Amino acid sequence: MNHKYCNNLFRYSRLKTRVVNIGDVPLGGTYPIRIQSMTNTNTQDTKTTVEQCIRIINSGADYVRLTTQGRKEAENLVNIKKELRKKGYHTPLIADVHFNPDIAEIAARIVEKVRINPGNFVDRGQPFSDKQYSEEEYKAGIDNIRERLISLINICKDYGTAIRIGVNHGSLSDRILSRHGNTPEGMVESAMEFLHVCMNENFHDVVFSMKSSNTLVMVQAYRLLVNRMFKEGLVYPIHLGVTEAGGGEDGRIKSAVGIGSLLADGIGDTIRVSLTEEPEFEIPVAKKLIGYFSGRSDHPEIKEVPGILVNPFRYKRRKTNPVRNIGGENVPVVVADLSEEKFISGSLLSDLGYQYNLQECNWKISDQATDYIYLGNLKSGLIVPGSLGIILDFDAWRSYHNQKTNLFPLFSLSEYIRSDIRSEQLKFLKIDYPSLNDEMIDILKKDNNVVLVLQTQNQNGMAEQRALICRLMDNLNHIPVIIQRDYKEKDPEDLQLKSASDLGALLLDGLGDGVWIRNKGPITCQEIISTGFGILQASRVRTTKVEYISCPSCGRTLFDLLETTAKIRDATYHLNGLKIGIMGCIVNGPGEMADADYGYVGSGKGKITLYRKQEIIKRNIPSRNAVDELIRLIKINKDWVDP
């Protein structure tokens, strides 16, 4: 199978796509990556919507998208656009349409781009019914799409309006689900049906998105889409986004894992970071993500590895031999760098997730407890739990390793080559890609107790570490690896975005048995550790806390999403491992939270419907009672523990 989805896995360059004109801000080709956000106001409220548009634009957005769920909202786009132009703002506007082709046709006469969702544009996104479609029925569905879409295309041609074909993992049609399931393949097939109609009508002002709240599904879907477009011979602009990413640290890390992983391979012409926060707060985050990859094409050469063994469209973790609790079937570990600390205090151990209980004379270990700490040359006495591994530089380890069983050496390359320690317990070896020559491979083949700490100084560090792991897969596939990255950040948000992009891109491909984030700057050890665990969870390789699948809010939202999300977090933050969906409306809600344990979905003005998995448990609960009802539901199903 042809796995090509970007220009080159080891040499960064932007994927060159067809140019699409959106107003006077072109998209694709060699134009800059554009930034956008979406209003969460009532689109019938001209004044409030215009004010929010201006805040979004002043924050740096290239485009503004508006909820357009009905005829009145679509018709009021004229007034919103008129007021913005009157105030000197000429930013292109995008109408976000679901369910109703007629609304899309009204909007296409007013704004510069219309977003439609193939899952409900014609097929209406019916719940999966297990219906088996005959060839005639399946083809009739495609014919129906063609008929309705051609009408919109003709209007767009007349008015110079572009179309985004925006597929959402949570809202594939019943017809697509019947044949492809709720899969990345199904998402791409849904998009291609619409693309083929556009191409047959010689309409090419088309942009595509493949969004999901699951970063693994999202990245695979985008890669598959580009792969299919390569085969079609024409690559259209790509809009990147992780839906329902949430807010705060979790929302930023999850967005960076998904969006950053694709930007790292040169994919993406416009992005929206969907945070459960005010929309103007999304823009600076998007700017930072894009900025991290600017100028990367000048990175030092990375020797390509032929015969890549990773399938970019199917997740499969690289299989390694376990060494202590690293590799094999073990979840990826987190290493904390404490080499600058002069004293390991009780409060510091608490930050690491370990607390000593004096009454019970034992250690209490949290779900986000660091697995290993690196202490460099520290030689003072330590009182730490035996489950916490301590990594020391080789000389320091050699001086007193016989005193404790949880001390492990970290070798430099020269120390490892000179040392005769081959068959002892776990050991760590620092290595980078240029150092992994044939001689080192021959030496490492004889060692079943070594874990490699992958380092890089390359500006395109993710690609160099990818090359290193691929080289191991050809020669030393049994050896576990910890991905180490060094940063110099002052702001925790900057560290979150950069490290999530770098590490997430590898973890989503099953490459990595641990993460080790180091930062020279004022960011605390606890913040760095939290970032590491957040990246593992966002990459779907280790779950250590509640995952909130919460939408960013829009004009369809039927309750105060920010306030409600905060209430649910306050009540459930301690239920580690649960997934809770918090959705403003039913457009994408039930589908996007398909793998959530519990769902809280707006079903009417001030009304909430609660889900357990994909099953509706209780409908139309007054929103003032709904959080208590959610907690009651969790308790009934025995998933509740007291804080």
| Residue percentage of the chain with pLDDT more than 90 | 72
Strand partners, 410: 393, 428
Phi and psi torsions of 395, nearest 5°: -65, -40
DSSP string for 191-234: HHHHHHHHHHTT---EEEEEEBSSHHHHHHHHHHHHHHHHHHT-
pLDDT tens digit sequence for 356-368: 888 888 888 998 9
E strand or H helix at 174, and its extent? helix 174-180
Choose the weakest-confidence range: 43-52, 207-216, 282-291, 396-405.
396-405
Say yes or no: domain 34-249+259-275 is CATH 3.20.20.20. yes
* 109-123, 273-287, 313-327, 388-402, range with the lowest pLDDT: 388-402
Strands 389-393 and 407-411: parallel
Handedness of CA 452, 456, 461, 466 (dihedral sign): negative
Mean pLDDT of the chain: 91
The string of pLDDT tens digits covering residues 143-201 is 999 999 999 999 999 999 999 999 998 788 889 988 998 899 999 999 999 999 999 99
> What's the rounded mean pLDDT across residues 282-289?
98
CATH architecture type of domain 333-538: Alpha-Beta Barrel (3.20)
pLDDT digits (tens, 9 = 90+) for 525-562: 999 999 999 999 999 999 999 988 877 666 666 677 77
Number of neighbouring beta carbons within 10 Å of residue 601: 24
Question: pTM for this structure?
Answer: 0.94
Numbered ranges of CATH 3.30.413.10 in the chain = 547-636
Cβ-count burial 212-248 (b if 16+ within 10 Å, e if not):
bbbbbbbbbbbbbbbbbbeeeeebbbbbbbbbbbbbe
pLDDT category, 590, cuts 50, 70, 90?
low
pLDDT digits (tens, 9 = 90+) for 118-133: 988 887 544 556 678 8
Topology of 547-636 in CATH?
Sulfite Reductase Hemoprotein; domain 1 (3.30.413)
Under the banding of pLDDT at 50, 70 and 90, the label for residue 47 is very high
- Pairwise CA distance, residues 270 & 244, whole Å: 18
Ranges of CATH 3.20.20.60 domains, the chain: 333-538
Name the segment(s) of the chain with CATH classification 3.20.20.20: 34-249+259-275
Q: Of 84-88, 89-93, 390-394, 494-498, where does mean pLDDT reach its minimum?
A: 390-394
Given a cut of 70, whether residue 624 has pLDDT beyond it is yes
**380, 397 Cβ separation under 8 angstroms:** no
Sole residue written with tokens 């490892």:
416
Crossing angle for the helix pair 248-255 and 282-293, nearest 10 degrees?
40
Percentages helix, strand, coil for the chain (3-state, rounded to 5) are 40, 20, 40
Are 539 and 216 in contact by the 8 Å Cβ rule? The answer is yes
Higher per-residue confidence, 594 vs 353: 353
Nearest to 374 by CA among 356, 394, 354: 394
